[in-house]
Amino acid sequence: MVATMSVNVSPSTVFALMERLRDSGMSIDPAEAVDAAIRQWLASTAAAPEMAPRGYQWKTLFVPEGTWLRMAYRNDQEYAIVEGDHIMYKGRSVSPNQFASGHADSVRNAWQDIYIRMPGEKNWKRASIRRSSTPRPAPRPRLDRARTQKIPLPS
């Protein structure tokens, strides 16, 4: 016999779990589902070596793995997802421009036409807004031409 223990879970979480189990048609006891979820979480967070984050580097904007991209054109919407270091659309790796232009069959501004929802977020944001909120590196100092002197060369 396996010993059990009680853990407090909010009623809204339990109800959501029960609805999900019912909607999915799974005939598993909610307690078994909770136990399986905890075991899966423990396995995923076990002392794994620290790895560099995966994602797609879109100029100055880093789009992490698991991010969704949405392109709407003429009342039709298409979606792509960042898997590893690639944006995947219809089973192939594409650039943001290829995703935007390919869906619209015309040249598009991907920064204006693509909306992004990063992992853990509920709302979509236009790519151009995400880009403008990304900190930019400080500009390199430029040589002030007015202050430079021409040094005569010896003849």
The pTM assigned to this predicted structure is 0.56
Instruction: Give the integer Cα–Cα distance in Å for 108 and 102.
Output: 9
Residue 147 has pLDDT above 70, yes or no: no
Q: What tens digit of pLDDT does each residue of 36-58 get?
A: 888 888 877 776 667 778 999 99
Query: Over the chain, what is the mean pLDDT?
Result: 83
Q: What percent of the chain has pLDDT over 70?
A: 83
Q: What is the structure's pLDDT at 11?
A: 87
Q: Are 79 and 35 in contact (CB under 8 A)?
A: no
Residue 111 has pLDDT above 90, yes or no: yes
Domain boundaries, the chain: 12-44, 55-132
Q: Which helix (H) or strand (E) holds 59?
A: none
Residue 126 has pLDDT above 90, yes or no: yes
Query: DSSP letters along 96-123, please?
Result: HHHHHHHHHTS---HHHHEEEE-TT--S
Q: What is the structure's pLDDT at 1?
A: 57
CB neighbours of residue 146 within 10 Å: 4
Which of the two residues, 140 and 35, has the higher pLDDT score? 35
